[in-house]
Structure 1
Amino acid sequence: MSRKHPIISITGSSGAGTTSVMRTFAQIFRREGVTAAFVEGDSFHRFDRAEMKAAMAQAQASGDSTFSHFGPEANLLDQLEELFRSYGETGSGKVRRYLHDEGEAAPYGQEPGTFTPWEALPDSTDVLFYEGLHGAVVTDNVDVAQYADLKIGVVPVINLEWIQKLHRDRESRGYSAEAVTETILRRMPDYVNYLCPQFSYTDVNFQRVPVVDTSNPFIARTIPLADESMLIIRFRDPHGIDFPYLLSMIHDSFMSRPNTIVCPGGKMDLAMQLIFTPMILRLMDRRRTELTLQG
């Protein structure tokens, strides 16, 4: 953790909704005049698209049917840890971009599914903002979680997560339902061993729970709407959280445990604005104080 160069990390599975959370934070940063360095977790994959396909085929040929982007072997977790450490100490670090499609790749003159060259983060940013699979990962070899000042988990219940992934990958990426299902099954061991444990390190977890039938996610025709869901917000440390204020501002909300608020799913953006704006402002006040003391 760093008083001078704070780090915020959003972690969640593919299809969990972390990108929507990133947009909410971008709004807060713009409104409060905070300059953020945005880092996507995909940029720390070990292999580009063609290399990953070859690595998966090689793993399958050797009897490993569980090789996935969720596990450490397919990612540069040591370099992600180094980025967090470096930014916390110096406000800088090395990053690159993963180019998902033609639109992202065209400005670089590269093919989709490739990485841009490594380069230094922009100068004079106020905060590092990470969004991806491993923002709070801890393994025998790396501890990314220790460097982040604010860690947020985005964790829909598993059937909803699968529905969101199935619809996104079929409609936006052209995959068949069978291919997406195979990916879900292949990733499951890494999901259990490397993604789920992160949500014990996160400071705040947002879990969307549908109130409609999602018992068979593989035949669901539509994604349950936000208004067809409840949102569970869990604080790892409830000290300093103004629960009466949050309950008064988020209508139809209640507390299910001393550290947990439940509210309508459509209130997610409002809840995030109310919860994280003061947290971000405290990080910025702490940063300004540290810079003044050192300046």
Structure 2
Amino acid sequence: MSREYPIIAVTGSSGAGTTTIKDAFARMFARQNVKAAFVHGDSFHRYTRAELERLLARQPEREESLSHFAVEANLLDRLESLFLEYSQAGTGSYRHYIHAEDKELVEAGYQVGTFTPWASLPESTDLLLYEGLHGGLVTDDINIAQYVDLLVGVAPSINLEWIQKIDRDTKLRGYSQEAVIESIQARMGDYMRLILPQFSRTDINFQRVPVVDTSNPFEPRAIPTADESFVVIRFRDPKKIDFPYLLAMIKDSFMSRPHTLVVPGAKMPLALELVMLPRVQELLDGRRFK
């Protein structure tokens, strides 16, 4: 669709690698002088960490339904309103959820697991980039995907996703491995109902597939390196993609299906820029008012 204020959403599960894709977009925007508003999906959690823990302690039978994947654990109506408001006027409200790795905010006095106050998005931005769990969500009551101009999915093979989540949450967020595994298990129902269907709506999917043994992701292990993986890139509309150009530019890449490009894991940053830059430029060129 063509509108003055386009929205790009990077969607994926916890530990999938959406932040890596968001950071790659940010570097590309900086080189291209694109001013973006950045919104993180965790900002729309309904509860602070302490509030959620207290609620689960009182109602343990609801633990699965109240994971951070769940609709009722998030302010998704407010996220939908933000997307609507931004798409129409380039404005809206957002905040930050504080993680342990948010050093600057922690040093500023914010407590891990809480939120900053709501604030207005920066003025005069070219586009909005959302990164989180629900960028392509559609339910009976919520339709966030309808406002997204470019929906990007990040879905590594499931065992790799869990390995990455365990590594991040234990090393950066202070959780025990046992607690992270329990969280993965508790969220499985919501993962299947709410996360997986989004990948059928994405315009482009990035799926990293390891070529080393990850058969037991709950066994302590290092994350497979980029050189130990391939990235499968699936396009909803292959007519928009110049496959001969990509194959020529990305060494050792190949097509596994008419809509699917496979690249060596170490070539993912290059592939991301070659694939995304024309799509971003298309969105900017299609703005109704410049």
TM-score (normalizing by structure 1): 0.94
1:82 aligned onto 2:81: yes
Gaps of 5+ in 2: none
Q: CA deviation at 1:116?
A: 1.3
Partner of 1:35: 35
Partner of 1:215: 215
Q: Is the 8 A contact 2:99 2:173 kept in 1?
A: no
Partner of 2:199: 199
Q: Which of 58, 63, 66 is residue 65 of structure 1 equivalent to?
A: 63
Please list the CA deviations of residues 214-238 of structure 1 after superposition, one character each: whole Å capped at 9, or x if unmatched: 0011114211111100110000111
Measured in 1, the distance between the counterparts of 2:27 and 2:209 equals 25
Please list the CA deviations of residues 131-167 of structure 1 after superposition, one character each: whole Å capped at 9, or x if unmatched: 0111111111100001000000000000000111111
Q: Is the 8 A contact 1:70 1:191 kept in 2?
A: yes
Measured in 1, the distance between the counterparts of 2:148 and 2:176 equals 37
Partner of 2:99: 100
Partner of 2:179: 179
Q: Is the 8 A contact 2:82 2:93 kept in 1?
A: yes
RMSD (Å), alpha carbons: 1.3
Measured in 2, the distance between the counterparts of 1:230 and 1:36 equals 30
Overall identity of the aligned pairs, in %: 59
Measured in 2, the distance between the counterparts of 1:117 and 1:153 equals 29
Q: Is the 8 A contact 2:204 2:235 kept in 1?
A: yes
Partner of 1:165: 165
Give the 3-state SS of the residue equivalent to 2:286 in structure 1.
helix
Measured in 1, the distance between the counterparts of 2:164 and 2:121 equals 32
Matches within 5 A, 1:118-129: 118-129=118-129
Give the 3-state SS of the residue equivalent to 2:277 in structure 1.
helix
Q: CA deviation at 1:108?
A: 4.7
Measured in 1, the distance between the counterparts of 2:2 and 2:59 equals 39
Matches within 5 A, 1:230-249: 230-249=230-249
Q: Is the 8 A contact 1:11 1:134 kept in 2?
A: yes
Give the 3-state SS of the residue equivalent to 2:59 in structure 1.
helix
Q: 1:106 to 1:222 in 2, by over 3 A?
A: closer
TM-score (normalizing by structure 2): 0.96
Gaps of 5+ in 1: none
Q: CA deviation at 1:64?
A: 2.3
